[in-house]
Amino acid sequence: MNSQKILIQNKLGLHARAASVFVKKATEFSSIVTVRNLDKKSDGKSIMSMMLLEAPYGTEIELYAEGKDEELAIQELAKLIAQRFGEEE
């Protein structure tokens, strides 16, 4: 299992559109993807689960991936978050 901590960097946080972009990317991988925010744990391939994570701007989350492509999954998902889910701010 691989994991990485990262800060939510887009101004609106992990809102509906950002969550859908994350889930779309996560489903490209065969690995199980889990996201943790303090005591909340979400299925990274479920939009409803990701929305319930409640991760506003500046929140530190931890990405977990387990499976054949876990390293690539963590790398690509962390990159997506660092690039603010493709948003301007």
pLDDT in tens, 20-70: 999 999 999 999 999 999 889 999 999 999 999 989 999 999 999 999 999
pTM of the predicted model as reported, rounded to 2 decimal places: 0.94
Instruction: Say which DSSP state 32 is in.
Output: E
pLDDT surpasses 90 at 89: no
Alpha carbon separation from 28 to 23, 40, 44, 60, 61 (Å, rounded): 9, 23, 11, 23, 20
Q: Into how many domains does the chain fold?
A: 1
Q: Give dist(CA 58, CA 34) in Å, integer.
A: 19
SS3 assignment, position 68 = coil
pLDDT surpasses 90 at 18: yes
Active site residues: 15
Q: Give dist(CA 4, CA 89) in Å, integer.
A: 22
Residue 42 maps to which CATH number? Answer: 3.30.1340.10
Domain limits for position 28:
2-86
